[in-house]
Amino acid sequence: MLRPVYRSVVKTSVLQKRLLSSKGSKLYKPSPDSTSTLIINDDPLVAASSSSSSSPSGIINSNDFPLFNKSNKNTTNNLSYQWKNASNMEFDPFNKSHASAITSMTRTRDVMQLWSLLEACLQSNLMKRAFSILESLYLTPEHKQRFIEDYNMYLDAFSKNEPNFPIIKMNEKLTNDLETSFKDINYNDKTLAIMIHHALNLHPTASSMLLSPTISAYLKMSVNGIRDILSNLDILTISDLSILVNDLKVISLSQLPTSVKPILESLAPSSTLVNNIENENGFNKTAAEKDLNIEKKLEFGRDSIRTPSLDPLREASLDGSMGVLPKDAEKLVAVDTIGMRVIRHTLLGLSLNAQQREQISKFKFDANDNVLNMKPTENGEESNTSINFFEIYNSLPTLEEKRAFESALNVFNQDRQKVLENRATEAARERWKHDFEEAKARGDISIEKNLNAKLWKWYNDMLPLIKEEISHCKSLLSEKSVNKRALNKVDSNRLGYGPYLTLIDPGKMCVITILELLKLNSTGGVIEGMRTARAVISVGKAIEMEFRSEQILKSESQTFRDVNKKSPEFKKLVQNAKSVFRSSQIEQSKILWPQTIRAKIGSVLISMLIHIAKVSVQGIDPITKAKVHGEAPAFAHGYQYHNGSKLGVLKIHKTLIRQLNGERLIASVQPQLLPMLVEPKPWVNWRSGGYHYTQSTLLRTKDSPEQVAYLKAASENGDIGPVYDGLNVLGNTPWTVNRNVFDVVSQVWNNGEGFLDIPCAQEEMVLPPAPPRNSDPSILRTWKLQVKTIANKFSSDRSNRCDTNYKLEIARAFLGEKLYFPHNLDFRGRAYPLSPHFNHLGNDMSRGLLIFWHGKKLGSSGLKWLKIHLSNLFGFDKICLEDRIAFTESHLKDIKDSAEHPLTGERWWTTADKPWQALATCFELNKVLKMDNPEEFVSHQPIHQDGTCNGLQHYAALGGDVEGATQVNLVPNDKPQDVYAHVAKLVQKRLEIAAEKGDENAKILKDKITRKVVKQTVMTNVYGVTYVGATFQIAKQLSPIFDDRKESLDFSKYLTKHVFGAIRELFHSAHLIQDWLGESAKRISKSIRLDVDEKSFKNGNKPDFMSSVIWTTPLGLPIVQPYREESKKQVETNLQTVFISDPFAVNPVNARRQKTGLPPNFIHSLDASHMLLSAAECGKRGLDFASVHDSYWTHASDVDTMNVVLRDQFIKLHEVDLVMRLKEEFTQRYKSYVKIGKLKRATDLAQKIINIRKDLSKKLGRNTTLADEIYFEKKRQELLNSPLLEDKSIGEKMITTVSLFQDVKDLDTLELENGGDENSGMSVLLPLRLPEIPPKGNFDVRVLKDSQYFFS
């Protein structure tokens, strides 16, 4: 590999600094040779490694990464490992393994907090404080390597803050900072980029003559080459680059980063614009407004003058920085932008009917005005404001036209997506205002009645409060000397959250707070309200999220602000460059707000809202019985008890709740997390993918830095490409809303009645009358329980309805749109859509509402699969395919009726297992059946192929279990096997035998065993359900048969034993593997890593076990089981203290959960791998693909192809002995770990250990502990690994209680398994050994190739 030319920064820096700091014009005339002498080639790695603190415990051990060898294309076929060395010696907060480094963990936390604070201070122009934070960061030794990045952040902010600071002074400052304040810190190319940018943007009156040499000087100082300087697009704007290339001509085009090169190429020198006006005026504007201006400029050219606005919104805003759409913008958007005119032109050029034509010509192709259909439809204005793109797309006759349409739509949607992710709060605010003004025109009463009008009132009341708070914070923060003692509690709190609060536009914060609280209504088990803890954190998170996307948008528009060309081709270029830019920005941001800050911010905002939000209420005076009207706070903070524990709650007033129930809730859906209108950003990196402006991580880590550390290392090693591939296929599947189904759901919904799983709308709950107070306590108690049950039902119904409302509203908003679901993974690798509420993983209704955007002709086999699909949805999925087809064909009449009269007809579809999806299928089938040639029918319906007990399929393949494999359809068969029925049969047989022997229970139960009784238990058995749990499941199934609950439970207990027995018998080898996994997990989680800090061994002989179970999936994804003891702390906020966990705390593992979790998690990691492999392959073959874990979806015509892929990939996955590989990985990873075990006392080895202990005891003057032994063994290991030969030889001679085991081969004979005589065993440290793998059976997974019922 070619290494870029490094220059030893250590040696050059001082000289360079001296050069820069030299006074006068000399600086601007650097002689070429003087700079070149500064370049000293030296191996930077030597310097880096010697300066790093290289604590081995602080960094992931190289042993930690057994990854698959990528050299062989068929990864699964290769058993050899490539032990990659994650020799990342830099300090990085995530790069810590939990097993070690307790101290650096706390430092990590400190650094994280300092970072977030630094960022906040820089944003708020608190330069002094920022500098002192820098000083603290500088003192963290592990952080030195990265410190320059923080300094760059500071310098950049400084430059923006003082745009007219002469470059000489700037240079002096830089020199001074790096030479005195932060010794040993060297600038990097970004530092230079900042200086260049500063120089370029100085007021033009500055001696521009000298500009060129200055810049040349900086360019020559480059550490990694000029290219590297220029790649800092977050610093150097396009116009900067343009000047450098075209005006100063100090660089050539070829040196530019590839993503922007084409833009600059197309910018002719003459048309380059450097907008200095913007520079002068625009500093205190928020990103949004800047962006808005950019947008406008992009569209109308720079001549469009911003007219001063009298809009009250603007007046109200703090320093005029409200990022709202100016009123005059509406006028402006009415005029077509050129780019959009082109889109319209394109669209009108397609084959459209008259109506479509009219729609398009009326339609305003402006992203700001037409984000989504969120406006009420009652006014019937729908036809004007929205276009059903799906219909148009479908009506286009040729593929070319479709392509052209999609391409035009995509350009439009790119803009809409941007607006969607960035302008949602403004949109909400606009809506409120609009409604308010309308209501106002009608009178005060209608203001009260209209929710949005009320929200607008709250907004206006809250805004000044926030502003006041912010100005408090600002004045407090800008005080010269902060006398901490003189501060009251409120102010010292402000000092903490103040820097963050000042970051975001106050108006936005209002909107976010209000929306979050409305969204959280009836969550957390609270009857009419929410948990305070959740509320404050949600608001805090939402604020942070807003800030993040604002940041990205801001830097993006900063960089591209002067790009001003109107051709659509150019626009595409810019869009492309921007997305590359965003990606790298998101990638770079590592800063997260601490949880405590989120909570504090949230509480401040919420308490303001509580203070001002009022609703008018009426009650009855208990004395006079007269109706009383009044005003009450809409939100109230209080507490409720649960099992004696207090729970902070935020109650919402009944009046408001009633209003919310009748409301369309679309507004409060977190807009950043809606489905996307364009393809998600592809996953290329562990934290870059999905939404365009919202950061999401590849893995849903449970606040576990350990998981992140492994993921990051794998990502940086480039090991998880296949994961990205699969995930990107999932994300790139376009969907649309099934209008037919939507209309039916909508009708049902508006009806307000209960329908299928939609509960009916209920106003009040009906409670049984209370018994007299002096009734027996037991009677009082049953009544209380009744009330509780009813209330629970009521509130769960309501939240259910609310959830349905969300789904429906999102669906409505996306009617006729092309939509995408960005995905990420849970910690085992299973994929989930990022957007909540409405997605294809949702309930039956959500799934029924979704169809593929692309249609495919049924072709020869499509109709067959469509029919089978319907049969499956009705629950007939365990009969052979022909019978399923026959089922559908025998119901053609019902299908027709269901499709044509879904609600008024026989409603046959409602009898299906999955009625809404069945209805969707009926609609298609009905259309197909009317066609002369069904093969020509264009189908959009996803067809599902489900694995029969997917977990058991994997187990069977792992164990090579022929019997089990047969049961789960791994073996070709002319008829699908029904596991559940089979288990039921086995249980039945057992019962019959028992009954013959005179077993009473068996006699009663033997004829009551159905498939249904055992189904859940068989399923959950894979997840390691316990005897007790299974008993409950079975009791639930049996309860209709027996009247007495007690009796039913007794029978269930009995039955459970037999069911368990039957399952064990049937899937014997699966259970052996399950046991093996469990035992391995137990041993690992009870093992000790030697280089662990002795502190965790403080309890003498009882250490805290720190090692969690870690493995790598066949796709290379490292999986860390995050189960640890949680440590939570109380954090003070404005409202109350909240109880939150500290993510950087180092906690011992929860061995139990590690143990019970491994079997299911391992299997899930395999099925996830299978899914991703299949997805990638299907993607390659041009299939539209979606998945719900073990259910795979595609077009009817492609089902056969997909099935082939599924089987191939499954075989590919299991051709390797995965269990063996897992064991090898474990053995390698936990190589030098020890466990506490018992050794037979009557052995030589034991005697030797006793002698060592005696010696040691003498030396120490006390009894030895295992901790001491660990200490010495650790010492020995350190010596052995020492580079010094003498150390090494000392180490080799050293004998410890652990080293004695090195050469022992027959440990089994020496170790006492549990039990044994009391005196024969003694506690010693034994090397960790894993149990033997159960023998593999004879099943050859390759026979699967011909099993048609594998997935069906």
The verdict on 524 binding another protein (CB under 8 A) reads: yes
User: Which of 128, 345, 646, 1231 is the binder for another protein (CB under 8 A)?
Assistant: 646
The reply to whether 946 belongs to the active site is: yes
Alpha helices in 560-653 (DSSP H): 568-588, 595-612
Place of tokens 């409202």: 1135
User: Which of 319, 776, 974, 1244 is the binder for another protein (CB under 8 A)?
Assistant: 776
User: Which of 774, 1314, 1319, 1338 is the binder for another protein (CB under 8 A)?
Assistant: 774
The residue (of 348 and 779) whose beta carbon lies closer to DNA is 779
Residue 1102 near which of DNA, another protein, none (CB within 5-8 Å, type-dependent): DNA
Residue 827 near which of DNA, another protein, none (CB within 5-8 Å, type-dependent): DNA
Please list, in sequence order, all residues whose beta carbon lies within 8 angstroms of the beta carbon of residue 880, skipping any fewer than 6 positions away. Answer: 974, 975, 976, 1349
Distance CA 193, CA 205 (A): 22
Q: What's the closest the beta carbon of residue 776 comes to another protein, in angstroms?
A: 6
The verdict on 1019 binding DNA (CB under 7 A) reads: yes
Residues from 1160 through 1199 that contact DNA (CB under 7 A):
1160-1161, 1164
User: Which of 587, 1139, 1232, 1331 is the binder for DNA (CB under 7 A)?
Assistant: 1139
The verdict on 76 binding DNA (CB under 7 A) reads: no
Distance CA 39, CA 221 (A): 8
The verdict on 79 binding another protein (CB under 8 A) reads: no
Distance CA 469, CA 479 (A): 16
Residue 528 near which of another protein, DNA, none (CB within 5-8 Å, type-dependent): another protein
Query: What would the x/- binding string for DNA be over residues 1288 to 1317, using CB under 7 A?
Result: -----------------------------x
The verdict on 531 binding DNA (CB under 7 A) reads: yes
What DSSP assignment string belongs to 89-129? -S--TT---TTS-HHHHHHHHHHHHHHHHHHHHHHTT-HHH
DSSP summary character for residue 1149: B
Judged by CB under 7 A, which stretch of 58-66, 328-336, 421-429, 1023-1031 contacts DNA? 1023-1031
CA torsion through residues 720, 1125, 1073, 1170, sign: negative
Q: Which of 211, 280, 210 is nearest to 240 (CA)?
A: 211
The verdict on 783 binding DNA (CB under 7 A) reads: no
Residue 523 near residue 508 (C-beta atoms within 8 A): no
Judged by CB under 8 A, which stretch of 265-273, 649-657, 1288-1296, 1324-1332 contacts another protein? 649-657
Distance CA 1156, CA 1161 (A): 9
The verdict on 649 binding another protein (CB under 8 A) reads: yes
The residue (of 139 and 636) whose beta carbon lies closer to another protein is 636
The residue (of 213 and 525) whose beta carbon lies closer to another protein is 525
The verdict on 638 binding another protein (CB under 8 A) reads: yes
The verdict on 488 binding another protein (CB under 8 A) reads: no
CA torsion through residues 886, 888, 894, 900, sign: negative
Query: What would the x/- binding string for DNA be over residues 739 to 778, using CB under 7 A?
Result: --------------------------------------xx
Judged by CB under 7 A, which stretch of 17-25, 782-790, 890-898, 931-939 contacts DNA? 782-790
What DSSP assignment string belongs to 288-346? HHHHHHHHHHHHH-TT---PPP--HHHHHSGGG---PPPHHHHHHHHSPPHHHHHHHHH
Pairing label, strands 627-633, 614-620: antiparallel
User: Which of 34, 63, 567, 1130 is the binder for DNA (CB under 7 A)?
Assistant: 1130
The verdict on 460 binding DNA (CB under 7 A) reads: no
Q: How many residues bind another protein (CB under 8 A)?
A: 48
Residues from 153 through 192 that contact DNA (CB under 7 A):
none
Distance CA 268, CA 180 (A): 45
Residues from 545 through 574 that contact DNA (CB under 7 A):
none
Q: Which helix (H) or strand (E) element contains residue 796? A: helix 777-813
The verdict on 532 binding DNA (CB under 7 A) reads: yes
Distance CA 1334, CA 1328 (A): 19
The reply to whether 807 belongs to the active site is: no
Judged by CB under 7 A, which stretch of 10-18, 247-255, 750-758, 1320-1328 contacts DNA? 1320-1328
The verdict on 651 binding DNA (CB under 7 A) reads: no
Please, what's the b/e burial string for 1024-1041 (b: 16 or more CB within 10 A of its CB; e: otherwise)? Answer: bbeeeebbbbbbebbeee
CA 3 vs CA 7, 9, 45, 46, 149: distances in Å: 12, 16, 11, 14, 22
Distance CA 812, CA 818 (A): 13
Grouping H, G, I as helix, E, B as strand and the rest as coil, residue 278 is helix
Judged by CB under 8 A, which stretch of 267-275, 324-332, 769-777, 1205-1213 contacts another protein? 769-777
Q: Which helix (H) or strand (E) element contains residue 944? A: strand 942-946
Catalytic residue among 1167, 1190, 1198, 1268: 1190
The residue (of 879 and 1019) whose beta carbon lies closer to DNA is 1019
The verdict on 1148 binding another protein (CB under 8 A) reads: no
The verdict on 14 binding another protein (CB under 8 A) reads: no
Residue 707 near residue 1124 (C-beta atoms within 8 A): no
The residue (of 684 and 1049) whose beta carbon lies closer to another protein is 1049
Amino acid at 1032: F
The verdict on 1137 binding DNA (CB under 7 A) reads: yes
The verdict on 1144 binding DNA (CB under 7 A) reads: no
The reply to whether 1190 belongs to the active site is: yes
Q: Which helix (H) or strand (E) element contains residue 1110? A: strand 1110-1112
The residue (of 384 and 618) whose beta carbon lies closer to another protein is 618
Judged by CB under 8 A, which stretch of 105-113, 569-577, 787-795, 1108-1116 contacts another protein? 787-795
User: Which of 163, 1029, 1143, 1291 is the binder for DNA (CB under 7 A)?
Assistant: 1029
The verdict on 756 binding another protein (CB under 8 A) reads: no
Residue 946 near residue 1349 (C-beta atoms within 8 A): no
Enter the tokens of residue 338. 């050129």
Other beta carbons less than 10 A from residue 893's beta carbon: 10
Residue 694 near residue 672 (C-beta atoms within 8 A): yes
- Strands of 605-757 (E only): list them: 614-620, 627-633, 635-642, 645-652, 681-685, 688-690, 735-737
User: Which of 519, 1015, 1229, 1238 is the binder for another protein (CB under 8 A)?
Assistant: 1015
Distance CA 278, CA 1339 (A): 72
User: Which of 80, 488, 778, 890 is the binder for another protein (CB under 8 A)?
Assistant: 778
DSSP summary character for residue 26: G
Strand partners, 1120: 1110
Amino acid at 18: R
Residue 634 near which of another protein, DNA, none (CB within 5-8 Å, type-dependent): another protein
User: Which of 1082, 1083, 1229, 1253 is the binder for DNA (CB under 7 A)?
Assistant: 1082
The residue (of 592 and 647) whose beta carbon lies closer to another protein is 647
- Work out the burial of residue 172: count CB atoms within 10 Å of its CB; fewer than 13 is exposed, 13-18 middle, 19 or more buried: middle
Residue 651 near which of DNA, another protein, none (CB within 5-8 Å, type-dependent): another protein
Q: Which of 924, 919, 921, 923 is nearest to 908 (CA)?
A: 919
The verdict on 763 binding another protein (CB under 8 A) reads: no
Residue 538 near which of another protein, DNA, none (CB within 5-8 Å, type-dependent): DNA
Q: What's the closest the beta carbon of residue 491 comes to DNA, in angstroms?
A: 10
Q: Which residues are catalytic?
A: 946, 1015, 1190
User: Which positions lie near another protein, rule CB under 8 A?
Assistant: 524-528, 617, 619-623, 628, 630-642, 646-647, 649, 651, 653, 767, 773-778, 780-781, 787-788, 791-792, 795-796, 1015-1016, 1019
